[in-house]
Structure 1
Amino acid sequence: MKKHVQVIDDSQLGAILKEIPIGLDDNPILVSFIPSIKTTGSNSDMASDNSNMLFMILERADRQESNEDFIEKMNRLQILANTIKKQMLQDTQELCMMKFLNVSIEIDPVWKLHECDGWEINFSIKNSSFH
């Protein structure tokens, strides 16, 4: 990936993506969102925090592309998403931190998001302590 941007929300992402031209020079783009935090528990003794994370692998879309080209692009970007997932799992295992990664990592397709297509990777990290 040639470009990485970090954003706080969808509106900031839209403004940034609007500046990136269609074409392969800056594509694909890795987007990371600043995490949100969810606290759960029935009282302060039982409370714990989870950081909800989102990465996206996006490519500016040429809406004139054929269906075959679209499928090829989505396959290519899905390979990148799976590579990131494998690296995340390897990193957590090597650092003995698997207990901090919640049960699932979700990888979902993205279509026409600010004129981009690609994949999003959703996951949660259990924070080590409640403050």
Structure 2
Amino acid sequence: MLKVNDFRAYIEEIKNSVAEITVAKTVMDDTQLAKILEAQTSDTYIVLGIIPKHKFKGNDYNLESNDITSILILKKVVRSNQDHEIFLDVINEAQTVAQKVVNKLIADYEDDSNCHFIRKLIPNSFDINPIWGLNSCDGYEIDFSLTTDV
């Protein structure tokens, strides 16, 4: 079962390894997300870890947790100054930042000397989607799963 504090520390690690990201937070639900995004400025990216949900599988002797979570990469935008071309530029930029996050996830997963939870990543579980207008923010959502010990 992926521990919240381990995940929270990893979200901070992502912020420290991707230059465009200046804020890192871990949240539970839309209410917390909205409150944090209200304070976000339009010149920086925020990385948000969504606290994982857990689904146990196996039996008493071999119980595992399928942990499902998301990482959001968001930047506040000012719509009044934005035409469609600027919107596409913003999404393109956000996609580049999201790709850096995915690259970090994969590199950490593949690093045999690394012993934290990301080594339990299920690589084919990635589902990466653009986000438009979430509390005045655009960006990307990176969904993925891990199989961890209970």
TM-score range, shorter chain: 0.7 to 0.9
Which digits, 9 at most, give the CA deviation of each residue in 1:53-84, with x for residues without a partner? 21101011211211111100100110111111
The structure whose residues are more often helix, as a share, is 2
Structure 1 vs Structure 2: percent identity of aligned residues?
Answer: 29
Q: Distance in 1 between matches of 2:45 and 2:119?
A: 31
Q: Distance in 2 between matches of 1:5 and 1:32?
A: 6
Q: 1:1-131 counterparts in 2 under 5 A?
A: 1-21=21-41, 23-24=42-43, 27-41=44-58, 43-45=59-61, 47-64=63-80, 65-95=82-112, 100-102=120-122, 103-127=124-148, 129-130=149-150
Q: Distance in 1 between matches of 2:40 and 2:144?
A: 27
Q: CA RMSD in A?
A: 1.9
- State the one-letter code of the partner of 1:76: E
| Structure 1 length-normalised TM | 0.84
Point out the structure with max Rg over C-alpha: 1
- State the one-letter code of the partner of 1:83: K
Q: Distance in 1 between matches of 2:57 and 2:135?
A: 33
Q: Report the Cα offset of residue 89 of structure 1.
A: 0.8
